[in-house]
């Protein structure tokens, strides 16, 4: 009696494991690779034939000649895709307040001439800790520092930001944004 009940259950487990654990993922991978090859490959950006990053995962920039992205709360290093997480600190948590103050100080120390209010996204981590993009306002906040450290005119840097801005999807969804890695690579390509 027990074997009669157990055999169909084990058979179903084996069949479903094969279908949903192997066949389905393979079909989805093939379809994604054929229809969206760049996205299926991780949206990697190459320079001189070598991958330098992904448009989907932020990178840590701390040199004043580069635009800085949103702070990352991942561990053991920033923008760790394996450990995607937010800081999970509430607004009254002293650790969050200390982190915001430290991030604001780093921005101020890198550009003492900038007296504009610091955009909140430049001092707080996101829920994923992997944000590759910042708002145009956050990029413009940093434009003076980047221009001075690269010996470029402020107007040229502002135009570069505008040329790398992605607007709302269909004019309705999301917010305007700038991919930090793409913007920094474009800066490196300026002569």
Both 97 and 30 in a single domain? no
Both 22 and 72 in a single domain? no
The residue-averaged pLDDT of 170-179 equals 91
Q: Which domain holds residue 24?
A: 2-37
| Residue 166 parent element (H or E) | strand 165-166
Both 119 and 173 in a single domain? yes
Instruction: Please state at what angle helix 154-163 crosses helix 136-150, rounded to 10 degrees.
Output: 140
Both 172 and 149 in a single domain? yes
Q: pLDDT, tens digit, for every residue of 68-102?
A: 999 988 878 888 888 887 778 888 889 889 989 99
Q: pLDDT, tens digit, for every residue of 1-27?
A: 677 888 889 999 999 999 999 999 999
The partner residues of 166 in beta bridges, in order of sequence, read 177
Q: pLDDT, tens digit, for every residue of 136-160?
A: 999 999 999 999 999 999 999 999 9
Q: Helices in the chain by DSSP H: which ranges?
A: 2-18, 24-35, 37-40, 94-110, 136-150, 154-163, 180-189
DSSP per position, 131-163: --EE-HHHHHHHHHHHHHHHT--HHHHHHHHHH
Both 51 and 12 in a single domain? no
Q: Does the reported pTM lie above 0.85?
A: no
First to last CA, the chain: 80
| Count of domains for the chain | 2
Both 20 and 54 in a single domain? no
Both 33 and 46 in a single domain? no
């Amino acid at each position: 009696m027990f074997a009669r009940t157990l055999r169909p259950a084990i058979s179903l487990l084996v069949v479903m494991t094969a279908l949903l654990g192997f066949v389905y993922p393979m079909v989805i991978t093939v379809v994604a690779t054929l229809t969206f090859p760049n996205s299926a490959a991780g949206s990697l950006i190459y320079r001189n034939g070598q991958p330098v990053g992904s448009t989907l995962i932020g990178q840590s920039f701390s040199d004043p000649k580069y635009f800085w992205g949103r702070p990352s709360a991942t561990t053991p290093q920033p923008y760790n895709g394996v450990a995607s997480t937010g800081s999970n600190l509430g607004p009254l948590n002293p650790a969050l307040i200390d982190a915001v103050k430290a991030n604001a100080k780093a921005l101020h120390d890198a550009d003492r001439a900038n007296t504009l209010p610091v955009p909140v996204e430049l001092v707080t981590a996101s829920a994923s800790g992997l944000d590759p993009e910042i708002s145009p306002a956050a990029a413009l906040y940093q434009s003076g520092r980047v221009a001075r450290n690269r010996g470029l005119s402020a107007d040229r840097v502002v135009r570069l930001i505008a040329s790398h801005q992605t607007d709302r999807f269909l004019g309705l969804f999301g917010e305007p944004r700038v991919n930090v890695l793409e913007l920094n690579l474009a800066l490196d390509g300026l002569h």
